[in-house]
Amino acid sequence: MLLFVGLGNPGSKYARNRHNIGFMALDAIAREHNFPPFRKRFQGVATEGALNGARVILLQPQTYMNESGRAVAEAARFHKIALGDIVVFHDELDLPPGKLRVKTGGGNAGHNGLRSITAHMGNEYRRVRLGIGHPGDKNLVHTYVLNDFGKSEEAWVQALCDGVARNAAMLAKGDDPGFQNKLHLFMDAAGFADVKRPGEAKA
C-alpha cells in the first residue's frame, strides 16, 4: 500500500492558488487512472485505486497547509504505511515553473506543509517537487503562493499535472529517476522546456 499526498488548502477560494498544485496533481492522477470519487477520510478527502498493480491511496488533507501532517499521520497509521511508501506532491519555489524533481528526505525549505508532515512522521518520505518559480523577493512569497495561477500559466500547469498523471505508475514502482526523466521529456515535447514566471522577461 502506498500513500500519495497532495498538499494545498481546502475550499474554492484556494482551488487555483499556486500553493495548491499538489491537489491539482492528485486530481489529475485520479482522473487518468479512474479512481473512485474522493470522499471524507483521515481529516481530508481520499480515494483508493491501483497504479502498476500497487494499491494507492490519494489523500488531500483538509486541515489547511500548516496542519497537513495530522491527516497524513492518521492515514499512515490506519493502513500501516511505512514512511518510505509516502509520496508528497507539493509546490516548490526553488524550481522554475514547470520543472519537477523527486527526492527523499532533505530540507523543508520553509514549506509549512512539509514541516508539519516531518513533525508528525519523520523526514524520510518521498517528495515530488512541482516548480512554480520564485517571485524574486522573499517578502512577496506569501502573496505569490496564495494567488491563483494566471491565464498565461494555465497551459504549463495543465501539462505538468497531465504528465504526472500519465507516468504515476513509475512512482508507484519506485522508479523516481525514470519518472523525473519522463516528465522532463514530456514537458519538453509539450513546448514547456523554458517557462517564465509572470512578469519575467523572456530570454
The residues that are catalytic are: 19
Task: Report whether 132 contacts 195 (CB < 8 A).
Answer: no
Residue 67 CB-half CA count within 13 A? 11
Residue type, 172: A
Question: What cell numbers appear for 132 in the block?
Answer: 512554480
DSSP letter string over 99-145?
-EEEEES---TT-HHHHHHHHHH-S--EEEEEE----SSGGGHHHHH
